[in-house]
Amino acid sequence: MTNQQDPDVTDPFSERAVLPFTVCKELLGGRFQFDSGSEALLDLVEAAYGGLPAQRWHDVPSVFRVELRLVMRKPRHGAGPPPAVRTQAGAGLLCGVMDESNYVVVSPDRQHALVVVSQDMLAHPYHVRYELIEFAVYLLAARGMDLVPLHGACVGKHGRGVLLLGGSGAGKSTLALQCLSQGMDFVSEDAVLVQPAGMLATGVANFLHVRADALRFVDDEATRRWIAAAPVIRRRSGVEKFEADLRGRARPLGTPLALVGAVFVSDRMAADPDRLLAPLSPEDVAARIEVDQPYAAGQHGWRRFLHGLCALGGHELRRGRHPRASAHALRDLLRRHDMATC
Amino acid at 160: R
The DSSP letter of residue 281 is: -
Q: State the pTM of this model.
A: 0.91
Q: Which of the residue ranges 114-123, 133-142, 172-181, 294-303 would you say has the lowest mean pLDDT?
A: 172-181
Tens-place pLDDT, residues 80-104: 789 999 999 999 999 999 999 999 9
On the CB side of 116, how many CA atoms lie within 13 Å of its CA?
17
Proportion of the chain above pLDDT 70, given as a percent: 96
Q: Which residue has the higher pLDDT, 114 or 254?
A: 114
Q: Which of the residue ranges 162-176, 228-242, 305-319 would you say has the lowest mean pLDDT?
A: 162-176
**What CA–CA distance (Å, rounded) separates 15 from 293?**
38
Whether residue 1 has pLDDT greater than 60: no
> Which whole number is the average pLDDT over 252-261?
90
pLDDT given for residue 311 in this prediction: 97
DSSP readout, 45-58? HHHHHTTPPP--SS
**What CA–CA distance (Å, rounded) separates 14 from 9?**
10
pLDDT given for residue 6 in this prediction: 54
Q: 3-state DSSP call for residue 44?
A: helix
**What CA–CA distance (Å, rounded) separates 209 from 10?**
47
pLDDT given for residue 76 in this prediction: 65
pLDDT given for residue 2 in this prediction: 41
Q: Give whole-number Cα distances, 218 to 145, 176, 183, 197, 299, in Å.
A: 38, 12, 14, 38, 38
Proportion of the chain above pLDDT 90, given as a percent: 77
Supply the Cα-derived Rg of the chain in whole angstroms.
21
Whether residue 45 has pLDDT greater than 80: yes
In the chain, where the domains are located: 13-145, 149-341
Q: Which residue has the higher pLDDT, 192 or 10?
A: 192
> Which whole number is the average pLDDT over 310-318?
97
**What is the sign, positive or negative, of the torsion defined by CA atoms of 132, 41, 52, 205?**
negative
The DSSP letter of residue 297 is: G
φ/ψ (deg, to 5) at 105:
-125, 125
Task: Let me know: does 266 contact 316? Beta carbons within 8 Å.
Answer: yes
pLDDT class of 111 with cuts at 50, 70, 90 = very high
**What CA–CA distance (Å, rounded) separates 200 from 290?**
19
**What CA–CA distance (Å, rounded) separates 76 from 72?**
12
pLDDT given for residue 143 in this prediction: 96
Whether residue 273 has pLDDT greater than 50: yes
pLDDT given for residue 169 in this prediction: 77
Angle at 264 between CA 177 and CA 241, to 5 degrees: 35
Task: Let me know: does 191 contact 182? Beta carbons within 8 Å.
Answer: no
